[in-house]
Amino acid sequence: MNNTGHERLFSLSNPWFRTSVGATIVLVVCGVLIGFVWLPSAQKDAPFQGIWNAICSAAGVPQKWLAGGEPVESKVRTSTAEITPQLLAHSSAASIGRGATLAMRCTMCHGERGMSEANSPNLAGQYAVVIYKQLLDFQSGARTNAVMSPMIRTLSDQEMRDLAAYYASLPRPMLAGTKPNPPMPEIVAHGSPMRNIVSCTACHGDIDNKAGTPWLEGMPAAYVRMQLQAFATGARHNDINEQMRNVARQMTQEEMDAAAAYYAGASPVH
């Protein structure tokens, strides 16, 4: 009795068995079509162009198996700067002096003493390693700007180190004593763990600072907002390991505005 019942259960003559097998086949086929054809074909990158290339890419086929066997290079340049906490930690007086001379060409945007009167970043007292990294990125093309890129192109490595040393030696702006500290937004103080957004202070804090990240107090709000938007869209992509792009993509415009207004509210004293 048991054997006969077992054979009937897994027999094509059993309508329930045929239905379950048919439904499973349909689900598998739909999953294959969606995962290996439709989703990859929706991508605009070269390796996914055409149904066959889309299937091969989704299946993890080596790049050389695709069109012509030539690898597709990314058009997005990212930072190759190697940053350590010890880099440029101690600069000589000679380096600072050379940097002061070089900085004369930078006063129009960054001010005579590193304090911008425009929507350019304030550089006075900024970490030397931060300035040096950004100069390297402008020179390599990892970060682009219509003004900065051509100005940095001919600088030597030593000249970039000298500029970084000079600006780092200038006094950092202080909070104006006539106005209270602005309230810290939630996104700055605690981030948003449910959206994988770490607090801004975790990397940009004055005490707990991650190597290569700038302090932001007193930065023009328009500049901070513009950089967050650039990271979110991928227009700026010189952040190491995409940490800023991953954060900015999850931020709302209101959170960007709040963070920019907060850091700008730490008004510098000239």
Domain residue limits, the chain: 18-69, 93-169, 186-265
CB 77 within 8 A of CB 137: no
The correct answer on CATH 2.60.40.10 for the domain covering 186-265 is no
Count other Cβ atoms within 10 Å, centred on residue 60.
6
Residues 6+ apart with CB under 8 A from 255: 185, 187
Per-residue pLDDT of the chain (270 residues; tens, 9 = 90+): 455 545 566 677 777 777 887 888 888 888 777 766 666 666 655 555 666 666 666 666 654 544 455 555 667 888 988 888 889 988 999 999 999 999 999 999 999 999 998 899 999 999 999 999 999 999 999 999 999 999 999 999 999 999 999 999 999 876 555 456 678 999 999 999 999 999 999 999 766 678 889 999 989 999 999 999 999 999 999 998 899 999 999 999 999 999 999 999 865 544
- Domain 186-265 in the same topology as domain 93-169: yes
CB 227 within 8 A of CB 121: no
CB 54 within 8 A of CB 36: yes
Q: Write the CATH number of the domain with boundaries 93-169.
A: 1.10.760.10
CA separation for the pair 230, 249 (Å, rounded): 10
Question: Under DSSP, is residue 189 helix (H, G, I), strand (E, B) or coil?
Answer: helix
